[in-house]
Structure 1
Amino acid sequence: MKYASLVLIGSLLAASCQQRASHSSPQASRDSLHQLAARYYEGNMALQPVQATLNGENKYNDQLPVDIGQPYRHRADSFYASYQEALKKIDTSSLSNNDRITYAMLQRELSLNREVLTYHEYLMPVQQFTCLPILMAQLGSGASAQPFKNKKDYENFMHRMEGFSAWADTAISNMRQGIATGYVLPEKLVIKTLPQLQDLSKKDSTNVFFAPLKTLPDSLDATAKQQLASEYNAAIEKFILPAYSRLYKFMQEEYLPKARKTSGIDGIPDGKKYYDYLVRSWTSTNKTPEEIYALGESEVARIRGEMEAIKNSTGFKGDLSAFFTFVRNDKKLRIFKTPAAVLDSFKAIENKIMPGVRKMYGHLPKSKFEIKQTEAYRAASASAEYQPGSPDGSRPGTFYVPILNAADFSYTGMECLFLHEAIPGHHFQFSLQQENDSLPQFRRFAWVGAFGEGYALYCESLGKELGLYTDPYMYFGRLTDEIHRAIRLVVDVGIHRKGWTREQAIKYMMDNEPVSEHEATAEIERYMAIPAQALSYKIGEIKIRELREKYTKALGDKFSLPAFHDELLKDGCIPLSVLEEKMARFYGSK
């Protein structure tokens, strides 16, 4: 998913952060929870200027602090600690239901944000899936959250380019410290990161950082455009290209030979404890890795049974493994010739389901929605994903589809993918959350993986109710996606807690779903790069489905699916424990 959803604590601090934080010092004895939450959000955006940009808050668009440096980390810890103390002084006895959620989420977020600062992820700041070097390229492309509408916008990003140069030097210093202390990336991840850094270091018209030069503001006259282009080009050549070149050279010559052979995060000194933290953070439960592993094995077995039934319904002769090979390779399931045809097919799915969606949801988002092909510079390592629009509607929510070769793009997984990443999945959840002005700002932009990804996976199960999955291969695609999330429970814990190798995890995935070795490798390396994130999908989906079944059974004919969905989404992304409590309050009042 997007960078904002993967970075739980936020990690970027403006140069003026200390002064801003002092101006925001909590006075909890006199303040209400609303005031405290509002001040926290403002201070946190100063602490995280890039996150602010992603949230559509543009006053920090020129700032890019060295978030992986110790001065930043100390200031961040002090900031979160001050709000922890302030929160303790809030009288909770008379809080409304909405405020109870705010209190619980703020308490949880502050605790997690402080705890993560005790670990050593800052010594491994660059990898192939989500890190600042990748995010900078997205922002600098001119097609993401960083605006390039006027001269000031271009000057803002030039300041960020300079900040990135300093960040890159600190990253190299940190990685040297990591080499000395055992906090290094797996070798396979370094190998995947190198071509990304190399491509972004090239002085080449295809380098995404030069893209904004092709769309200079029309409000400028020819002379002003030429001057701005010259300054902007100079900034790229002075700050961006050398920074990526330094990162590439260091990682190629110095870091790669020292990279570790182990695959899991338990291969670093405090890896087991760190993984336990990540499991709690991403699942928003107290489930242990062992419990999650056992749940994954159970779900894999159940879904394989459904797959056998679908295989038999097609008349296929052979075992499930042979059917996987057939689905993966049969040309009849590869019906596209161009990327445009793939995108048009996704648009057709949207048009087909919208009448049914309007009957399932009482409250639909106002935010616009669009479908785009993933940019070439990141497509090779990217999954299909959703990036939220801006709250003011100036930037639509976008469903990105990586299409390396349209002729290799299978149609079988398209319906469930759209339900998950687009409508009514991430687009509805993100948009309704951002549009709800009754939520404190920090909640309007909060991300709790188990809820957000769990809800999106739950949306895949709505396909039959929406008139999809009529083709058995499409429904097999749905089961493939579901077992994929169940497999994650097994392989993520396997890699990071049970000593599984990368190759062992790739084999388990290929044995249980119809993926190519290339696809399985990219997935397993994603889990290596962001431990425990992949657990959130199935854990959340199971809880949401459990709640729907519970209240359907309890209310019978009085159960309203639109009311269930509206209540589910109206408070935004929340921890699963909070979700269960608030749904009980909602249905208890009926």
Structure 2
Amino acid sequence: MKKLTFLLFTIVAFNACKESPKQEAIPEPNAEFAALLDSYYEDGLKLNPISATMAGDNRYNDQFPNFLSDEYAAQLKAHFEGYKTKLAEFPDESLMESEKMSKAILEWQCDINLAEFDYNANLTPIDQMWSPNLFMGQLASGSSAQPFNTVEDYQKWMKRVDGYLEWLSSTEDKMRVGMEKGHVLPKSLTIKVLPQLESLTTDDLDQHLFYTPIKNLPDSFSEEEKLELSTAYEQMVKDKVIPTYQKLHAFMAGEYSEAGRESSGIQGEPNGDAYYAHQIKKYTTTNMTAAEIHELGLSEVARIRSEMEKIKEQVGFEGDLKAFFDFVRSNKELMPYTDAQQVVDNFNQIHEQMKPQLELLFDMKPKTPFEVRRTEAFREKSASAEYNPGSLDGTRPGIFYVPIPDVTGYNVYSDESLFLHEAIPGHHYQISLTQENEALPKFRKTLWYSGYGEGWALYTESLGMELGLYTDPYQLFGMLGAEMHRAVRLVVDTGLHSKGWTREQAIQYSLDNEAESEASIISEIERYMANPGQALSYKIGQLKIRELRKKAEDTLGDKFDIRQFHNQVLETGCIPLALLENKINNWIEANK
């Protein structure tokens, strides 16, 4: 993630492991080491109470630290330095295989977070897609992870909002420092932030997001309680929330917009190349360079184009591939809906269609419930489809959010691959199975490494035929289009941030090589601009998992069991790709 703060914000989900099959029966479980891991997890929740809320731990639901303060930065740095020192007290020979894995993961986690302090990521704390204010809007809706079931829940949220508004106010101070030091958003991104802020300056309570929980007060509340809470929330919104958003909007619309960067990539900021190298390592969990990734992207784009040509011929389209992209983008037959619920219903139907085939590929299935929901209106225009994990105890479902800003223009051609990626068996299987694994220390259940997590989700898109999908050539083209989208990311992300590409160059390259709509492509390019490196993780991780599957198939032959391979990948959870590769190699050797 682009921000130090948001790196913590996404401590929401993921990681499991049975590790190497060649376990030595020497060390016993190390109680002191287990206590250290538990302590790391608990201290992390105190530092970032939002991550606790996301995990379904409600002890800190009234808290929102000022992640931008110097005091917080000092606490965070001491946290990672302290645990790195403590880890050194446990030599590998004193640990079981699973404990060695946990140690390696925690060392990596400490190192990558400490490296973030070398850069000025917190001087651009607000953007159009990744910053905490957008996630707080989700919580404010009353339909996300923050519970609104009791009077105390409502009171806790008001207290959390106080902390959040302190943070939001301090973003202006950080951005002013950024203006002095050359760390500012590109002007094209600031323009996209303004309507998001402005929407929360309305004085119409019925339309204000932060007043929404009052419109859904439980019937169990007494009339006196309802009146007290309604009055308190009205004062909170009118006297605190609206003025804070008005002030920030005025600043970003005025001085900050004028100071915005003309450059599109992070190279336009001081020390941009070094920061981008750090971002690549953080998101791909590899040591690949920007140049290597750019060339890989060009190669993958060429390969996938050749596969797309076959689909174009199959449906009888005459014209070049770019013309076929335009045809798919604008084909009204692929835009059949008039009501947003029809989009949600279609995703649920895809799930029903593939259910009988899941048994053939997976012998482990999550217990955590699952839902498809429309993305909330306040962020729908700039949001991508996404998955929000369920709670650790399984009481809150995993949710696949799909934005439908204009249902009449909603194109269905990639819906099957999208569902596989964001929902089942993509993120929902991966995250929920990890969270439900009682053998793991808690900190391993709430880690997120994008190289693994997004790599797995993209890998699952290729399972569509095995799951009874992609019978329609346009849906198969949608799968290729989704993979092309991730291959294009390798080219345009490195182009923007290491080769001096402009926003317009990146948009044009995408238009030339994929069938996404122009509006969608613009939103995507601006997403990469706001968070350098994140977009690289999908293809890098997918290619590694594909490589490991092929190696296992070639080596094991008739002994290869796809369900066991998926178990090996999923039980490991979100870990750096080198650790995953080592684990699969050991599994292959043990099963020759």
TM-score category by the smaller chain?
A: over 0.9
C-alpha displacement of 1:144 = 0.8
C-alpha displacement of 1:363 = 0.7
Please list, as runs of the form range in 1=range in 2, the aligned pairs for 1:94-105 lying within 5 A after superposition: 94-105=94-105
1:135 corresponds in structure 2 to: 135
Find the aligned partners of 1:8 and 1:209 in 2 and give their Cα distance. Answer: 23
1:550 corresponds in structure 2 to: 551
1:438 corresponds in structure 2 to: 439
Percentage identity across paired residues of the two chains: 46
User: Once the two structures are superposed, what CA deviation does each residue of 1:163-183 show, in whole Å capped at 9, x if it has no partner?
Assistant: 122112211111111111101
C-alpha displacement of 1:2 = 13
1:315 corresponds in structure 2 to: 316
1:70 corresponds in structure 2 to: 70
User: 2:365, 2:433 within 8 Å by CA — same for their partners in 1?
Assistant: yes
Find the aligned partners of 1:95 and 1:568 in 2 and give their Cα distance. Answer: 22
User: 2:555, 2:588 within 8 Å by CA — same for their partners in 1?
Assistant: no
For 1:555, the aligned partner's letter is L
Find the aligned partners of 1:11 and 1:340 in 2 and give their Cα distance. Answer: 31
SS of residue paired to 2:92: coil
Highest RCO, 1 vs 2 (Cα 8 Å, sep ≥ 6): 2
User: 1:11, 1:47 within 8 Å by CA — same for their partners in 2?
Assistant: no
Q: Residues 556 and 574 of structure 1: is their aligned pair in 2 closer, same or farther, counting only changes over 3 Å?
A: same
Find the aligned partners of 2:434 and 2:11 in 1 and give their Cα distance. Answer: 22
C-alpha displacement of 1:162 = 1.0
Find the aligned partners of 2:213 and 2:463 in 1 and give their Cα distance. Answer: 40
1:343 corresponds in structure 2 to: 344
1:586 corresponds in structure 2 to: 587
1:211 corresponds in structure 2 to: 212
For 1:191, the aligned partner's letter is I
Find the aligned partners of 2:274 and 2:379 in 1 and give their Cα distance. Answer: 32
Find the aligned partners of 1:451 and 1:253 in 2 and give their Cα distance. Answer: 41
1:515 corresponds in structure 2 to: 516
User: 1:9, 1:112 within 8 Å by CA — same for their partners in 2?
Assistant: no
C-alpha displacement of 1:239 = 2.1
SS of residue paired to 1:7: helix
SS of residue paired to 1:220: coil
Please list, as runs of the form range in 1=range in 2, the aligned pairs for 1:428-467 lying within 5 A after superposition: 428-467=429-468
1:287 corresponds in structure 2 to: 288
SS of residue paired to 2:128: coil
SS of residue paired to 2:371: strand
Find the aligned partners of 2:470 and 2:521 in 1 and give their Cα distance. Answer: 24
For 1:367, the aligned partner's letter is T
2:45 corresponds in structure 1 to: 45
Find the aligned partners of 1:213 and 1:317 in 2 and give their Cα distance. Answer: 57
User: Once the two structures are superposed, what CA deviation does each residue of 1:355-402 show, in whole Å capped at 9, x if it has no partner?
Assistant: 111221111000000101111111000011110111222210001110
Find the aligned partners of 1:237 and 1:587 in 2 and give their Cα distance. Answer: 62
For 2:552, the aligned partner's letter is Y
User: 1:8, 1:447 within 8 Å by CA — same for their partners in 2?
Assistant: no
C-alpha displacement of 1:11 = 9.6
SS of residue paired to 2:387: strand
Please list, as runs of the form range in 1=range in 2, the aligned pairs for 1:136-175 lying within 5 A after superposition: 136-175=136-175
Please list, as runs of the form range in 1=range in 2, the aligned pairs for 1:112-261 lying within 5 A after superposition: 112-204=112-204, 205-261=206-262
User: 2:9, 2:132 within 8 Å by CA — same for their partners in 1?
Assistant: no
Q: Residues 3 and 552 of structure 1: is their aligned pair in 2 closer, same or farther, counting only changes over 3 Å?
A: farther
Taking structure 1 as the reference length, the TM-score comes to 0.95
Find the aligned partners of 2:476 and 2:11 in 1 and give their Cα distance. Answer: 41
User: 1:5, 1:447 within 8 Å by CA — same for their partners in 2?
Assistant: no
Q: Which runs of 5+ in 1 are unaligned?
A: 13-29
For 1:158, the aligned partner's letter is M
2:20 corresponds in structure 1 to: none
Find the aligned partners of 1:188 and 1:69 in 2 and give their Cα distance. Answer: 27
Q: Residues 456 and 418 of structure 1: is their aligned pair in 2 closer, same or farther, counting only changes over 3 Å?
A: same
User: 1:454, 1:540 within 8 Å by CA — same for their partners in 2?
Assistant: yes
SS of residue paired to 2:372: strand
Moved more, 70-79 or 237-246: 237-246
Find the aligned partners of 2:476 and 2:57 in 1 and give their Cα distance. Answer: 41
1:499 corresponds in structure 2 to: 500
C-alpha displacement of 1:313 = 1.1
Q: Is 1:391 aligned to 2:392, yes or no?
A: yes
For 2:514, the aligned partner's letter is E
User: 1:11, 1:67 within 8 Å by CA — same for their partners in 2?
Assistant: no
Please list, as runs of the form range in 1=range in 2, the aligned pairs for 1:374-389 lying within 5 A after superposition: 374-389=375-390
Q: Residues 158 and 6 of structure 1: is their aligned pair in 2 closer, same or farther, counting only changes over 3 Å?
A: closer
Find the aligned partners of 2:10 and 2:448 in 1 and give their Cα distance. Answer: 11
User: 1:368, 1:396 within 8 Å by CA — same for their partners in 2?
Assistant: yes
C-alpha displacement of 1:94 = 3.7
User: 2:2, 2:532 within 8 Å by CA — same for their partners in 1?
Assistant: no
User: 1:263, 1:500 within 8 Å by CA — same for their partners in 2?
Assistant: yes
Q: Residues 3 and 407 of structure 1: is their aligned pair in 2 closer, same or farther, counting only changes over 3 Å?
A: farther
2:359 corresponds in structure 1 to: 358
User: Once the two structures are superposed, what CA deviation does each residue of 1:538-562 show, in whole Å capped at 9, x if it has no partner?
Assistant: 0000000111110011111111111
C-alpha displacement of 1:491 = 0.3
User: 2:5, 2:122 within 8 Å by CA — same for their partners in 1?
Assistant: no
C-alpha displacement of 1:3 = 11
Q: Residues 6 and 78 of structure 1: is their aligned pair in 2 closer, same or farther, counting only changes over 3 Å?
A: closer
User: 1:364, 1:432 within 8 Å by CA — same for their partners in 2?
Assistant: yes
CA-based RMSD of the aligned residues comes to: 1.8
User: 2:2, 2:531 within 8 Å by CA — same for their partners in 1?
Assistant: no
Q: Is 1:93 aligned to 2:93, yes or no?
A: yes
Find the aligned partners of 1:427 and 1:577 in 2 and give their Cα distance. Answer: 23
User: Once the two structures are superposed, what CA deviation does each residue of 1:458-502 show, in whole Å capped at 9, x if it has no partner?
Assistant: 000000111111111111111110000000000000001100000
Find the aligned partners of 2:37 and 2:244 in 1 and give their Cα distance. Answer: 37
For 2:446, the aligned partner's letter is F
C-alpha displacement of 1:405 = 1.6
User: 1:6, 1:533 within 8 Å by CA — same for their partners in 2?
Assistant: no
C-alpha displacement of 1:97 = 2.2
User: 2:347, 2:415 within 8 Å by CA — same for their partners in 1?
Assistant: yes
Alignment length (residue pairs)? 573
For 2:447, the aligned partner's letter is A
SS of residue paired to 1:370: strand
For 1:120, the aligned partner's letter is N
User: 1:506, 1:521 within 8 Å by CA — same for their partners in 2?
Assistant: yes
Q: Which runs of 5+ in 2 are unaligned?
A: 13-29
C-alpha displacement of 1:406 = 1.5
2:27 corresponds in structure 1 to: none
SS of residue paired to 1:400: strand
SS of residue paired to 1:201: coil
Q: Residues 265 and 50 of structure 1: is their aligned pair in 2 closer, same or farther, counting only changes over 3 Å?
A: same
2:303 corresponds in structure 1 to: 302
Q: Is 1:416 aligned to 2:417, yes or no?
A: yes
User: 2:3, 2:122 within 8 Å by CA — same for their partners in 1?
Assistant: no
